[in-house]
Amino acid sequence: MEVLKELFRLRRYKASQGKLIRKLTMAGIWVIFATAAWKCTLMDFTWLAGRFTWLAGWDAQLKTATESNAVDTIVALSTQIQTFVATFVVAFPYSMAGVTLLCGLWFGYRLVHWTTFADFLISVEGEMAKVSWPSKGELRSATFVVLTLFFLLAGVLYAYDLVFVLLFRIIGVVV
């Protein structure tokens, strides 16, 4: 229940602290929801229109059966339903995308101002300020060491593989 209260609260929690990490977290959440909204627009709901094809045959049968006002009303109603379904099939993915995007924008904004999560982000930003980052030269030399060892070990494993394949062929295990 507390989560729902927090989700629909308008106030910002400790708005002046942890601004950068909050903005980046909110932007990441918004990108995720924007991607989901975009995927919603690509969804195909034409299968839904096929569920109502029986209406076309139904109103034709009613017209041939009798010519009363009630039947004309039913035929007009079925035509309106078919038109609504056709419009719905076209508009639904965009409506779903809009709702997804709006919910994502609100969720991202509220999440970074949720008391517990905001305190966590504030402490993360504080800890990141304490980190000792390497200089460009240190980063280059460390990257060189890692890549050199990676390729050296890959070469050693490839050599072991060749030796074992040759050994197994000599023994007759592998043809």
- 14 and 63 together in one domain: yes
What is the tens place of the pLDDT at every residue in 95-128?
888 888 998 998 888 888 888 888 888 888 888 8
- 74 and 140 together in one domain: no
Residue 81 near residue 52, CB atoms below 8 Å? yes
Q: Report how far Cα 167 is from the mean position of its chain's Cα atoms.
A: 50
- 140 and 125 together in one domain: no
pLDDT of residue 69: 58
Rounded to 10 deg, the angle between the 69-111 and 19-41 helix axes is 160
- 59 and 88 together in one domain: yes
- 137 and 62 together in one domain: no
- 98 and 60 together in one domain: yes
Domain span at residue 143 reads 133-175
DSSP string computed for 11-61: PPSSTTSSHHHHHHHHHHHHHHHHHHHHHHHT---HHHHHTTTHHHHHHHH
Number of domains in the chain: 2
What confidence tier does 61 reach under pLDDT thresholds 50, 70, 90?
low
pLDDT of residue 113: 82
pLDDT of residue 19: 78
DSSP state of 68: -
| Mean predicted confidence (pLDDT) in 126-146 | 92
